[in-house]
Amino acid sequence: MKNIIPKIIITILILFIISVAIYFALNKTSKENEQDLNISYQTVNMVTSIRLGISDFDSINPYTTNNREILYIDSLIFEPLVTISQDYNLEGCLAKEWSKVENKSYVIKLKDNVKWSNGENFTSNNVKNSIQTIQKNKNCVYYENVKDIKSIEIVDNTTIRINLNKEIPFFEYNLIFPIVLNSKQDIIGTGKYKVSNIGEKKIELTKNDNWHEIEKENPNIKRITVNLYRTMGEVYNAFKLGSIDFLHTTNSNVEEYIGTMGYGESRYQNREYDYLALNCEDTVLKYEEVRKAISLLIDQEKIVSSILENKAYSSYFPLEQNSYLLKDITISNVSNSEEAKKLLENKGWKYEYGIWQKEINGVTRTINITLSVNKNDEKRIKVAEEIKKELEAIGIKIYIEKVSETKYQNYLKNHKYEILLTGVYTSLSPDLTGFFGENNLANYNNEDITYMLKELNSITDINLQKEKYEKIIEIYKEEVPYIGLYRNQDIVVYSNDFRGEVTPNNYSLFYNFSNWYRE
């Protein structure tokens, strides 16, 4: 019995020590977990202001400015009747409904809960006044949108009827001009923000508490400072020094000015679309197989990578590539020299004495083509030289004609050339009449496309629209009146403390702006 008692005491002591050790270990773990939880639920330090930078400021008024960056900023102050989504579809803004009632007439129903930033009610008369103001100024960037409006009828306070001089394809896309209330003191809008101060070096915008969507979409940013600089060089320097948080540029070499680290960026395709126009009335190019063979020999991806140093995007068709109409439609062009040869051979062309030739109606035709390009455009000249190399690799002879600006403009006007390397600022609307309609640059005519373009003027069903565009693209691929090459790029850069989704397109830089903030 005496031997058992000490053993019991030792056992109890050991158990006590183990219990104490476990207690302290669990207590330490609990505190660490509590600390981790505190870190996990730490409040984000949200900065509710943002600083933008622009150069060459002229006016905040969207009807008088010629500064594209101001027009982007104006979209936060002034609103249009309809706006354009990220995939280039139409969405209501100040208008809640719109319809084409006749070939040259549209009825627009306005939202009835809209106020100007000064508290006044927004009415249909404001729309009429804005249209008439733009029509009086041919230098206004929105003049083309309204020049063919013949009359505006006020039906009631929230309804207007617009009558046109002529039928205009997709006229609804013209309704993206901003509506402005002109007062003696200020330029007043209905948008998310209002102008609170205009100084020599900066413009201050503050949140518009009267904005009609503020209950559904209350922006994080309360104040926007637009810093004004004389040159883009000063804008780049200010970004480098951390004086601004966000800038937009068309300069694809922006990293040479702001470095390559310490910021985020979003690059996107702009409206500058370069392409080859093939004269469909030319003695050789009028043959569909010749045009298609040329298309099969041109490698757009190689041009973009080797000539343009990946500072552009290959683009085969004139519609915006992320358009809702092109969703699930493949329109890329894959170069294939063997298929090009086979196509020519199947149509009776023979490669003899170093050139493709064919006897047609007793006359020997050779595929010996002049490619014309503006001599003042160094980039396009380099692209033309690459195209020449690709075509001559299988025996299609190309002579590059570097023409003066005057002759180049004459080609655009009279369409008398063989192949022309040119470009255009594509429309925000899906209207293709400039490429396929009457008097088009390629002298191209296809009755099926002409009929479908006319049909599209009255089709509002998206699925039916897509069906028509898919058929147009199929014909385009087969008959090849044009060969799309590439689109140039724009760039948005933003500071590392910027938070939010930056998804610009050619209509707006500020999609999802209400969710933006800084830390």
For residue 446, is it within any domain?
A: yes
Strand partners, 483: 276
Report CA 418 to chain centroid distance, whole Å. Answer: 31
The two tokens of residue 310 are 């990946």
Q: State yes or no: pLDDT of 266 exceeds 70.
A: yes
236 lies in the same domain as 168: no
H or E element, residue 297: helix 288-297
Q: Coil, helix or strand for 93? A: coil
C-alpha 346 chain-centroid distance: 41
- The mean pLDDT value of the chain amounts to 92
Would the pTM count as exceeding 0.85?
A: yes
φ, ψ (nearest 5 deg) of residue 338: -65, -40
For the chain, what's the residue count? 519
| Residue 215 structure tokens | 């209950």
Asked if 69 and 94 sit in the same domain, the reply is no
Whether residue 325 is found in the same domain as residue 433? yes
* Co-location of 482 and 416 in the same domain: yes
At 11 the pLDDT is 56
Average pLDDT over residues 266-288: 97
CATH of the domain at 206: 3.40.190.10
At residue 1, does pLDDT exceed 90? no
For residue 20, pLDDT over 90 is answered with no
Structural domain harbouring 224: 45-77+191-262+496-519
The rounded distance, in Å, linking the Cα atoms of 367 and 397 is: 6
Both 242 and 114 in a single domain?
no
pLDDT digits (tens, 9 = 90+) for 21-63: 555 555 554 444 444 444 444 456 889 999 999 999 999 999 9
Q: What is the pLDDT of residues 455-495, one digit of tens each?
A: 998 899 999 999 999 999 999 999 999 999 999 999 999 99
Chain centroid, CA 498 distance in Å = 22
Shortest CA distance to 495 belongs to which of 243, 314, 298, 170?
243
What burial class does residue 445 get, using C-beta atoms within 10 Å of its C-beta: 0-12 exposed, 13-18 middle, 19+ buried?
middle
Burial group, residue 316, by CB count within 10 angstroms (0-12, 13-18, 19+):
buried
Task: Classify burial at 115, counting beta carbons within 10 Å of its beta carbon; exposed 0-12, middle 13-18, buried 19 or more.
Answer: middle
Position 45 scores a pLDDT of: 82
Q: How many domains does the chain have?
A: 3
pLDDT digits (tens, 9 = 90+) for 407-449: 999 999 999 999 999 999 999 999 999 999 999 999 999 999 9
Model confidence band, residue 16 (pLDDT cutoffs 50, 70, 90): low
Percentage of the chain lying above the pLDDT 70 cut: 91
pLDDT at 32: 47
Q: Which pLDDT belongs to residue 34?
A: 44
Cβ(411)–Cβ(443) below 8 Å: no
| Lowest mean per-residue pLDDT among 43-57, 297-311, 341-355 | 43-57
* pLDDT (mean) for 53-77: 96
- Determine the distance from the C-alpha atom of residue 353 to the mean position of all C-alpha atoms in its chain, rounded to a whole number: 48
Instruction: Answer yes or no: do 121 and 58 share one domain.
Output: no
Task: Examine residue 171 and state whether it is found in any structural domain, yes or no.
Answer: yes
Quick one: which H or E segment has residue 462? helix 462-479
> Are 109 and 168 part of one and the same domain?
yes
Q: What is each CA distance from 56 to 17, 201, 233, 504, 506, in whole angstroms?
A: 78, 11, 11, 22, 20
Residue 467, domain CATH: 3.10.105.10
Residue 9 is predicted with a pLDDT of: 56
- Comparing C-alpha atoms, which of 68, 76, 511, 74 is closest to residue 266? 511
